[in-house]
Structure 1
């Protein structure tokens, strides 16, 4: 069994924000047997609560978890896979690390940084909770599709571990 977690915030007002790109990837994925897709109904900073509960309920091992989330430091459209690591300052990922007591889970980062490399993000919270520009929104379907393909590839190539 695999657990694919898309990070975001619940509620209509957050649907099209940069922070909800993980939810959008989950929405683009087809249902598959032995794969659980999770869009936590907690707010971003409490994502670890939902992830830990889902892992416990479905008896999923840590190596069978993939977390998909926004990265404000990567250019829009950049997709980066990591097998483990720090939170990189992402509060949702930090919540998962804190609740699981480990950073040994796979993650797929989706860049949401401004297209203009000279643009400075003055307030991180306002930026990640802000909506994409029209131009950025036009690029998103391709970005979401590429990320969904990476998730499918991870599911296909990663062996399933014994349930805990």
Structure 2
């Protein structure tokens, strides 16, 4: 089984914030696949789809960003999912809004959700799909910025990034991740 993980924070207050773009991609896939996240286990909401490429789990950890690794590692252990079969989708301050960057490993780069995953998985080597949210304007603190909603000007490029991210995830179901990286990086 493959596991597509979108990082974010639960609750209406965080629903459309920059930090929740990973959730938005998983929600988009769930809608496209008619696979609502109705199952709950280990503080996460998920669904399992039987796709032509095999079984795929869509997951939104509900532990808040800083503890995402708890849910992911528990579900991976429970279902016997290997590291090579996961992809984590999350926001990135260092990329322009809407730009994608796919990697197979790396540090947390200051992202607390990824820090938690690295801690609980015991490795930095797992597939990632980062979506740019740009840097905050001068004088604004990063926590305030990531918990803010996208501007009207950014919404079209963010919507496009969500669709491209979903397409990258779907491509990964039948192609090696390196090929997916070559196809979608920088789009």
Q: Same fold (TM over 0.5)?
A: yes
In the aligned structure 2, how far is the partner of 1:96 from the partner of 1:158?
22
Residue in 2 that maps onto 1:60 = 81
Q: Which residue of 1 aligns with 2:147?
A: 129
In the alignment, what sits opposite 1:41? Answer: 62
Query: Where does 1:84-95 land on structure 2 (aligned, <5 Å)?
Result: 84-95=105-116
How far has the Cα of 1:121 moved from its partner? 6.1
The equivalent of 2:2 in structure 1 is 2
C-alpha distance in 1 between matches for 2:144 and 2:94: 15
| 1:1-164 superposed matches below 5 A | 1-29=1-29, 30=33, 31=35, 32-33=49-50, 34-113=55-134, 119-120=137-138, 122-158=140-176
| Structure 1 gap segments, 5+ residues each | 160-164
- Give the whole-Å Cα distance in 2 for the aligned partners of 1:73 and 1:85: 14
CA distance in 2, matches of 1:158, 1:7: 23
Normalised to the residue count of structure 2, the TM-score between the two structures is: 0.79
1:102-152 alpha-carbon deviations (Å, 9 max, x no partner): 1110000000005x9xx4363110011111111112332211101111111
Q: Which runs of 4+ in 1 moved over 6 A?
A: none
Paired with 2:60 and 2:149, the residues of 1 have a C-alpha distance of 19
Unaligned runs of 5+ in 2: 36-48, 178-187
Question: How many residues matched?
Answer: 156
Q: Distance in 2 between matches of 1:155 and 1:91?
A: 27
Q: TM-score, normalised by structure 1?
A: 0.90
Instruction: State how far apart, in whole Å, the 2-side matches of 1:140 and 1:74 are.
Output: 12
Q: Indicate the larger mover: 83-92 or 129-138.
A: 129-138
Distance (whole Å) between structure 1 residues aligned to residue 173 and residue 111 of structure 2: 24
